[in-house]
């Protein structure tokens, strides 16, 4: 069964909504820059920061200033709303026979409420005036907070935390729920905000680039962390027809694989990424040569870009499709990357363009390919392979197809 996508919404350093994202990609405008809102001493780092303060986000959404909200929730709500509006289920609707649709909400996140907990930690130790943020530190609390803003109109709410593959795995779970008849519609994706803990952790791993990152370049130096959210509305093709909603794309295949090689690094031969990509293509009923574009994980680290390329070469051989990473536009949005980049894959199909691999100059010696530098495809884009690889070797790949 192919899963219809009937709505999509995004929020990132490139702006709010799909139109702003498309404009940034088309006009080579990066959202990565100096730290503005995050309270960190690491101001030398470039980040893909959403260009609104928490107070501005709360005002935009209609949440009273002073109400206990974490930033990840504030980034997610506009993205979820954009997806629901496009899918014609905002406000959440009922069937004509008045039987309520079973609409599940699956969200990926790893940072959770760290952004507030790290600021309130001393207060937690000394008094109880900020205890509302203790409960919000849990990853699941973010998902529950988002659901509550939509009046808890979901039949099921669940959270996935598998680091950078979280939201891709949320999309897979959503597709499985529909195939198994456990939900009529699934809103799936992920959100992540920047936090000091987040930045400090990656800085300790020594994989941050203090300049705008250079994915797949031989002189790449590391990651720019980013923040944002991306969500898709999934349902069966029959459901979309019944609701008279036109699909904007399909999830035609997907696969998760785990090589468990190292807590943070990919295996030198890229075996986990290879298994994920091969499995997704096979699950879609396609041959490798039918993939028209690879939206790579492409973090800009020496390890990831080398091994992801090796894995892709193992699958595609000398017939490598166009491949690029958008991390220089948005930063690495970690848990939100999989679903955000699934939306970018949809945009590539809808508008028939290839997202350019910004800042590329010289190819990696071990690779038999260079990433995309020309946005004009040489053949129609029908099937996109979108990769998301998490810590611990939790690797996921999704095939997004046109309708």
Residues known to be catalytic: 164, 297, 332
Q: How far apart are the first and last CA of the chain?
A: 14
Backbone dihedral angles phi then psi of residue 321, each to the nearest 5 degrees: -70, 170
Contact 13, 259 (CB under 8 A): no
CA dihedral 385, 391, 394, 397 (to 10 degrees): -10
CA distance 44 to 55: 25
Tokens representing residue 173 in the block: 């779970």
Dmax of the chain from CA atoms? Answer: 63
Identify the residue whose tokens are 């969500």.
Answer: 231
């Amino acid at each position: 069964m192919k899963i219809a996508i009937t709505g999509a919404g995004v929020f990132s350093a490139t702006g709010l909504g799909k139109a702003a994202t498309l404009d940034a990609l088309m006009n080579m405008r990066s959202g990565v820059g100096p730290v503005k809102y995050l309270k960190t001493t690491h101001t030398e780092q470039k980040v893909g920061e959403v260009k609104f303060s928490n107070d501005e986000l709360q005002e935009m959404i209609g949440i009273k200033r002073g109400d206990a909200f974490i930033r990840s929730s504030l980034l997610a709500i506009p993205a979820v709303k954009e997806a629901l509006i496009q899918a014609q289920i905002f406000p959440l609707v009922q069937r004509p026979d008045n039987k309520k649709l079973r609409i599940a909400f699956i969200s990926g996140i790893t940072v959770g409420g760290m952004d507030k907990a790290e600021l309130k930690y001393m207060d937690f130790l000394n008094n109880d005036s900020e205890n509302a943020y203790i409960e919000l530190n849990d990853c699941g609390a973010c998902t529950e907070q988002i659901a509550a803003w939509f009046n808890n109109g979901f039949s099921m709410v669940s959270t996935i935390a598998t680091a950078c593959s979280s939201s891709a795995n949320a999309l897979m779970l959503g597709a499985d729920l529909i195939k198994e008849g456990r939900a009529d519609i699934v809103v799936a994706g992920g959100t992540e905000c920047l936090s000091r803990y987040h930045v400090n952790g990656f800085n300790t791993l020594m994989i941050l680039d203090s300049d705008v990152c250079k994915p797949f370049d031989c002189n790449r130096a590391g990651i720019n962390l980013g923040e944002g959210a991306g969500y898709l509305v999934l349902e069966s093709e029959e459901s979309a027809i019944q609701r008279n909603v036109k699909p904007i794309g399909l999830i035609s295949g997907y696969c998760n694989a785990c090589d468990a090689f190292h807590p943070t690094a990919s295996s030198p031969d890229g075996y986990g990424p290879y298994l994920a990509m091969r499995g997704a293509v096979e699950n879609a009923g396609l041959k490798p040569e039918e993939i028209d574009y690879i939206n790579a994980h492409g973090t800009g680290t020496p390890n990831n870009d080398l091994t992801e390329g090796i894995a892709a070469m193992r699958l595609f051989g000398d017939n490598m499709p166009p491949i690029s990473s958008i991390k220089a536009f948005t930063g690495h949005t970690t848990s939100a990357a999989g679903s955000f980049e699934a939306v970018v894959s949809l945009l590539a199909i809808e508008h028939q363009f290839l997202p350019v691999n910004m800042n590329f100059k010289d190819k990696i010696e071990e690779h038999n390919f260079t990433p995309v530098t020309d946005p004009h495809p040489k053949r129609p884009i029908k099937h996109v392979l979108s990769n998301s690889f998490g810590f611990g070797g939790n690797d996921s790949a999704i095939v997004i197809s046109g309708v």
